[in-house]
A and B are shown apart, each in its own frame.
Chain A
Amino acid sequence: MDPKSHGKKSAGWKQIYSSSTIFVLPAALLVLVIIAYPFITAIWIGLTNKTVAGPPPHFIGLQNYFTCIRRSDFWQTFFNTMIFASGTLLLSLVLGLVLGLALNRVKRMRDLVGATILLPWIVPTVISTLVWLWMYNPFAGVLNYIFTTLGLVDQPISWLGLPRLAMASVIIVSAWRNIPYFGVIILAGIKQIPHQLFEASQIDGANAFQAFVHVTLPALKGVLFVYSTLVFVQTAYDFALIYILTRGGPAGATEVLSVKSFMTAFETGQMGLGVAIPLFAFPLFAPWVMIVTRRMITQWAGGAIQ
């Protein structure tokens, strides 16, 4: 190879590389300002004794985290968060799968049906949750009206007043919001499965259930993994839904990390401790999210997520 031409080539690459850096730089700076700065600030605040309008904060290391662990109610809050997020995910996943498969069967006005089904996901959380709060109302709510009118129960059910029922009730509302999202994502995933695979399974004598188990599910594995992670993390940090429905009651049975964080940081002014509460779950979520992100980047680079 002519050394001169090699030199030209590398100079060209250098030029392309430097110009691509320049093009990416504004976006990278924006990400730094919007995401990295608040996140790093939050981590820093969690390591200080900062209070609202208080004296200048001091670095106190991991003391806020130890305070969290020592408090008798913290672990209940932590497990509530995990139950809330897992319950939401499970229900959303199963019913979302059913919805996605059903949508796949719809032949007419699929776009209209799809858009209509997405409504729960589009409506602002505060509004839809307030409607659910009214539906769960012990004596004026529509659910108890139906149940008592049909003679299914003698006394109105206290949907948000009994610990397990309250947790189930908030999970139902949370899943209700996520099911359409899952349904549409799964529908998109199904559409990407080559129809030859279904034809081949039919030729091999597979029935509909076997085709679902051996063709559809494996093909959707990637999509389900990615979106399940996103929904789990998003639900674990959901604040408005539980704050509106139960404020974490009865007796802390539905109190999750985000609600506890808000109460501590804003209602009692202990900003450092309040920030530390949700960050406690961060080491658990971070590796999982990193795997998903890596998978998304590599697979998007190579085509659709499989």
Chain B
Amino acid sequence: MARFHPQFKKGGCKMKKVVILLAAIGIAAGLGSLSVSLAQQPRLGIEVYKDNPNQQIPTTELVNRWAKENNVQTDITMGGHANRLTIATTALEGGTGPDILMLADFEPNLFSKGLLDLSDLADKIGVQNGGWYPIAKEIGTAEGQWKALPIYIYMHEMIYRKDIVEAIHAKVPQTWDEFRAVLKKIKDAKLKIQPFGVAYARSFDGQQFLISVILSNGGEVLSADGKRVVFNSPETVKSLKYVIGLYRQGLVDPTVPGWDDSTNNQAMLSERIAFTFNSFSIKMASEKDFPKLDPKIGAAVYPGGPKGRFSFPFTLSYGIRKNSNQPELAKKLLAYLFEAKNYQYVLESTAGATGTSLKGFANLPFWAKKPDWKANLDAIPTARLFAPPSAATAEVNNSYVIVDMIGDVLVGGMTEEQAVEKAAKRMEEIYFGKK
């Protein structure tokens, strides 16, 4: 070991201090320049939606790539089903948080006053990508302006057991009459499975199912001019009787009045039911965690009625808050995310589970790879809202006014006519403030 002269040691101590001082100056300078460069970079916040198909992974990658290319500091906020609404309302009211928000269903309309007009961008994206699907335009516009750009259309579909349908020598039902006939066949075959199950209680799945039946039978919530509630009609009563009839004929799992949005997923994956109506999450879960069951599970477009086939979807759209400090930059990022190659990248990463809002993506080769997954695409033209987007429509939807009719009849002791009358009365209160 080298031995140092004490004087040198003393000098070494000084040297050490000098080195430490220089290092500290260096670090401080480095941090200073970093903070200067960060301060020079514009800052932009975006909310990225985190859900089953993991679309947040390719989206985050794209956002980071764009940020690097454009020398922008991006703050990514992960939003999900539980916190999305809180993020949106806080940002819109407080002017803090993400500049680009993820808005669901009727929210672009609900919060339209706080959102930037994106009409120029929407028109450009539409022209470049074969045009928007009608449902996308309906969701994204408010008072003639595009207030949000719908990106994910999660269709509600008929999820069924292929092997059971084959076992009873039936075909996938195309109409509601055929649907009931298939359920009856399953029941009569005395297979150890309940023919059908979806929440007959407060849930979005149950409500989406009932709305689809009502719309396909010609029932409507509002008149064509939007000035009257026309829900109390023979078509609505007929639809409710059909849904209640399935239960009373023993074609539905007897426990459905106590189900919620997750129970039908559990029931399908535990092989308790042969048919349900749900988003694509059941198929995704079966592919991931139930390899033996997965080939037996199919997905198809909703059956239809006299007025056609309709499905009430769940949609997600990007909107920019009006009080953003970086509106142009936010638009630029949205334009980038909607560039054909980038949108296609997200769609392919999720195998199409998220659905698409632009017609130009309907012909991509990946849709042909998995026939069951193509139901997400095939169902998009059937997408329809039960009434024009508005705060009142959102309240009817979120207060479960429509699906509550099932409970009113099954457990509340009302007739179908009384339940429809009660729902119509509530709608009049909500839409027009009537007594």
> A: which residues have CB within 8 A of B?
51-55, 67, 70-73, 133, 136-140, 155-156, 158-163, 166, 246-253, 263-264, 266-270
Contacts and interface: CB of A to CB of B under 8 A. Distances in A.
Contact of A268 (B110, B272, B412): B110
A266 B114 contact: no
Nearest to B392: A268
A139 B202 contact: no
Contacts of A136: 258
Contacts of A52: 89, 92-93, 110-111, 114
18 contacts: A52-B92, A52-B111, A72-B429, A138-B263, A139-B267, A155-B255, A156-B254, A161-B256, A166-B258, A249-B400, A250-B257, A251-B405, A253-B407, A263-B395, A267-B394, A267-B398, A268-B391, A269-B111
B435 A70 contact: yes
A58 to B, nearest CB: 14
A252 B400 CA distance: 9
Contacts of B398: 263, 267-268
Interface in B321-339: 321-322
Q: Which 9 A-B pairs have the closest CB atoms?
A: A53-B114, A161-B258, A251-B407, A161-B257, A249-B202, A138-B255, A158-B258, A250-B407, A53-B92
Contacts of A269: 89, 110-111, 391, 394
Contacts of A70: 429, 433, 435
Given A55-B113, A247-B202, A138 B258 contact: yes
Given A137-B263, A268-B392, A268-B398, 16 more contacts: A52-B93, A52-B110, A52-B114, A53-B114, A54-B113, A54-B114, A70-B433, A158-B258, A161-B258, A162-B258, A249-B400, A250-B257, A251-B412, A266-B85, A268-B394, A269-B89
Interface string B161-185: 0000000000000000000000000
A140 B262 CA distance: 12
Nearest to A247: B202
A306 B64 CA distance: 64
A247 to B, nearest CB: 5
Interface string B398-435: 11100011111011100000000010011001000101
Contact of B202 (A133, A246, A266): A246
Report whether over half of chain B's contact residues are helix, strand or loop; otherwise say mixed.
helix
Nearest to B414: A251
A251 B411 contact: yes
Contacts of B429: 70-72
Report whether over half of chain A's contact residues are helix, strand or loop; otherwise say mixed.
loop
Interface size class of B (residues with CB under 8 A): 35 or more
Contacts of B404: 249-252
B391 A51 contact: yes
Contacts of A268: 110, 391-392, 394-395, 398-399
Contacts of A264: 395
Contacts of B259: 138, 161
Contacts, number: 136
Given A53-B93, A139-B255, A161 B411 contact: yes
Given A52-B111, A158-B255, A139 B411 contact: no
B270 interface: yes
B133 to A, nearest CB: 25
Contacts of B115: 53
A156 B426 contact: no
Interface string B339-381: 0000000000000000000000000000000000000000000
A160 B258 contact: yes
Contacts of B392: 268
Contacts of A158: 254-255, 257-258
B237 interface: no
A51 B392 CA distance: 12
A132 B294 CA distance: 29
Nearest to A264: B395
Contacts of A140: 266, 270
Contact of B426 (A73, A163, A270): A73
Contact of B201 (A67, A72, A249): A249
A250 B270 contact: no
Nearest to B254: A155
Query: Taking each of A73, A136, A161, which has the highest tally of chain B beta carbons within 10 Å of its own beta carbon?
Result: A161
A71 to B, nearest CB: 5
Given A159-B258, A247-B202, A268-B391, A67 B433 contact: yes
A5 to B, nearest CB: 59
B394 A250 contact: no
Contacts of A156: 254-255
Query: Taking each of B112, B391, B411, B426, which has the highest tally of chain A beta carbons within 10 Å of its own beta carbon?
Result: B411
B257 A72 contact: no
Interface in B83-102: 85-86, 89, 92-93
Nearest to A51: B391
B182 to A, nearest CB: 22
B412 A163 contact: yes
A136 B86 CA distance: 28
Given A138-B263, A140-B266, A269-B110, A162 B425 contact: no
Contacts of B391: 51, 268-270
A159 B266 CA distance: 17
Contacts of B258: 136, 138, 158-162, 166, 250
A138 B408 CA distance: 20
A241 B95 CA distance: 31
B404 to A, nearest CB: 4
Query: Taking each of A55, A136, A138, A166, which has the highest tally of chain B beta carbons within 10 Å of its own beta carbon?
Result: A138
Contact of A137 (B85, B92, B110, B266): B266
Interface in B56-95: 85-86, 89, 92-93
Interface string B309-322: 00000000000011
Nearest to A50: B93
Contacts of B435: 70
A235 to B, nearest CB: 21
Contact of B113 (A53, A73, A248, A270): A53
Interface in B256-309: 256-260, 263, 266-267, 270, 272
Contacts of A163: 407, 411-412
B266 A250 contact: no
B256 to A, nearest CB: 7
